[in-house]
Amino acid sequence: MTETGNDPIWEELRREARLEADREPLLASFMHGAIIHHATLEHALAGHLACKLGSAGPLQPTLLMDLFREVFESDPTIREAIRADLKAVKERDPACRGYSIPFLYFKGFQALQSYRVSNWLWQVGRVALALALQGRISEVFAVDIHPAARIGKGILLDHATSIVIGETAVVKDNVSMLHEVTLGGTGKETGDRHPKVGEGVLIGAGAKILGNIRIGDGSKIGAGSVVVDDIPPHSTAVGVPARVVGRSAVDQPALEMDQRIQAPGMDR
């Protein structure tokens, strides 16, 4: 685990929690239990997610907390992704003022970190537990990500409600997507059947990207679009079915979060 003194994001998160505990006495106990008394970000996150996802069924809170800690301690790439995702929310979401807000309250961040545990379980062959956790994540956060999907780091799931990501989907680093996005199949076909989303892509609210197609690096998909064909890198696509209407004005639209669609060739 990362030592507290060598982890600036964790130090800032704890500082924010202490300030909030001082400002709002009714939340002081919560802030201490969720963040302040923990030694590392991973331990705090394991406890917080276990409280959110724990149930009276097989996924009891104490068992989930131990599981999440086991996974975080086993995989340094997950620990790196947690911090990259926190930074992504803080830097891209204008409603976010600090690290503690997404950590404590944003279900997009929480669902994504929970998925990372289910993905780890899937990869090591603990398929039944991975699927049980997927179901619970969907119930609690209204975000349904198959544990076999491959998702990079620096990801923002903004608002997140009703996001669906299928089994063979791939999402590369630094992607932003809003609520009701679907990365799905086109029917009953089996095998590799879900989208491959490139780095830095911005996907607007309600967009449906269907089939084993590629969304090129640095592209922008307009809200409500239905995409069933490949989209070239650094393109802007809108409509039903979606068509390319211009080029992205920046290299990675996901970082800018500018969802406006200008005249063809003038997306800026």
pLDDT in tens, 173-223: 999 999 999 999 998 889 999 999 999 999 999 999 999 999 999 999 999
In CATH terms, the fold of domain 1-143 is: serine acetyltransferase, domain 1 (1.10.3130)
pLDDT over 90 at 4, yes or no: no
Report d(CA 177, CA 162) in Å as an integer: 11
Q: Are 245 and 261 in contact (CB under 8 A)?
A: yes
In the chain, what percentage of residues exceed pLDDT 90? Answer: 89
In CATH terms, the fold of domain 149-268 is: UDP N-Acetylglucosamine Acyltransferase; domain 1 (2.160.10)
Question: Each residue of 222-237: pLDDT tens digit?
Answer: 999 999 999 999 999 9
pTM score, two decimals? 0.94
Beta bridge partners of 247: 235
Report d(CA 150, CA 171) in Å as an integer: 6
Q: Are 214 and 233 in contact (CB under 8 A)?
A: no
pLDDT over 90 at 268, yes or no: no
Helix axes 107-123, 76-92, angle to 10 degrees: 160
In which band, very low, low, confident or very high, does the pLDDT at 263 lie, cut at 50, 70 and 90? Answer: low
Residue 39, CA atoms < 13 Å, CB-side half-sphere: 4
What is the pLDDT at residue 266?
47
pLDDT over 50 at 2, yes or no: no
Beta bridge partners of 165: 145, 183
Question: Each residue of 64-118: pLDDT tens digit?
Answer: 999 999 999 999 999 999 999 999 999 999 989 899 999 999 999 999 999 999 9
Q: Mapped to the 3 state alphabet, what secondary structure does 215-236 carry?
A: ECCCCEECCCCEECCCECCCEE
- Residue ranges per domain, the chain? 1-143, 149-268
